[in-house]
Amino acid sequence: DQQVKQNSPSLSVQEGRISILNCDYTNSMFDYFLWYKKYPAEGPTFLISISSIKDKNEDGRFTVFLNKSAKHLSLHIVPSQPGDSAVYFCAASVNDYKLSFGAGTTVTVRA
């Protein structure tokens, strides 16, 4: 049973607007959460992460929010750019180097 769930398989957003990607998890022991980005024919690449002791982490246009009580995290991309069109994977770990990944959300940024 998947412990990390991304319930929206796809998201379409207009260039310049905000993209919001959601991720839910079931394992309350998860301590670290990460987002990876994947372009076609390439491997995933690390985007941003957050520790469970924080509720927000920002890196340029990318911000990750963590709501531990709801077991929910989200990734905000502002403003969205055409190069952001990719598959985004949410991942989590239990104080460990092993990661559990979600199914991914395909983001399409429209010009």
Partner 1 sequence: EAQVTQNPRYLITVTGKKLTVTCSQNMNHEYMSWYRQDPGLGLRQIYYSMNVEVTDKGDVPEGYKVSRKEKRNFPLILESPSPNQTSLYFCASSLGWGGLVRGPDTQYFGPGTRLTVL
Rounded Cα distance between 46 and 74, Å, is 16
**Residue 103 pairs with which residues in a beta bridge?**
none
Given candidates 26, 46, 67, 78, which one binds partner 1 under the rule CB under 8 A? 46
Rounded Cα distance between 28 and 19, Å, is 26
Q: Which of these segments, 14-22, 56-64, 67-75, 102-110, binds partner 1 (CB under 8 A)? A: 102-110
Letters for 57-86 (x = contact with partner 1 by CB under 8 A, - = none) are: ------------------------------
Q: Which of these segments, 13-21, 55-63, 68-76, 101-109, binds partner 1 (CB under 8 A)? A: 101-109
Report residue 7 as tokens: 């319930």
**Residue 22 pairs with which residues in a beta bridge?**
74
Residue 27 interacts with partner 1 (CB under 8 A): yes or no: no
**54 phi and psi, to 5 degrees?**
-115, 165
**Residue 110 pairs with which residues in a beta bridge?**
14
Number of residues interacting with partner 1: please give it, by CB under 8 A: 29
Q: Which of these segments, 10-18, 64-72, 74-82, 87-95, binds partner 1 (CB under 8 A)? A: 87-95
